Amino acid sequence: MEVPVIRDRRGTIGVIEPSGMLPFDMKRVYYLFDVATGSSRGAHAHKTLSQLLIAVAGSVVVTLTDGDSESEFLLGDPCVALHIPPGYWRSLSQFSEGCVLLVIASAEYSESDYIRQWEEFIAWRNPH
Summarize as ranges the residues that interact with ligand T46 (CB under 6 A): 30, 32, 41-42, 51, 53, 90, 92, 103, 109
Specify burial of residue 41 (Cβ count, 10 A radius: 0-12, 13-18, 19+): middle
Specify which residues 30 forms β-bridges with.
103
Separation CA 89–CA 45 (nearest Å): 4
Annotated catalytic residue 128: no
Query: What count of other Cβ atoms lies within 10 Å of the Cβ of residue 48?
Result: 12
* Alpha carbon distance, N-terminus to C-terminus of the chain: 34
* Cβ closest to ligand T46, residue 14 vs residue 114: 114
* Nearest-approach distance from CB 124 to ligand T46, in angstroms: 16
* Cβ closest to ligand T46, residue 60 vs residue 128: 60
* Nearest-approach distance from CB 30 to ligand T46, in angstroms: 5
* Nearest-approach distance from CB 63 to ligand T46, in angstroms: 11
* Cβ closest to ligand T46, residue 53 vs residue 81: 53
Catalytic positions: 44
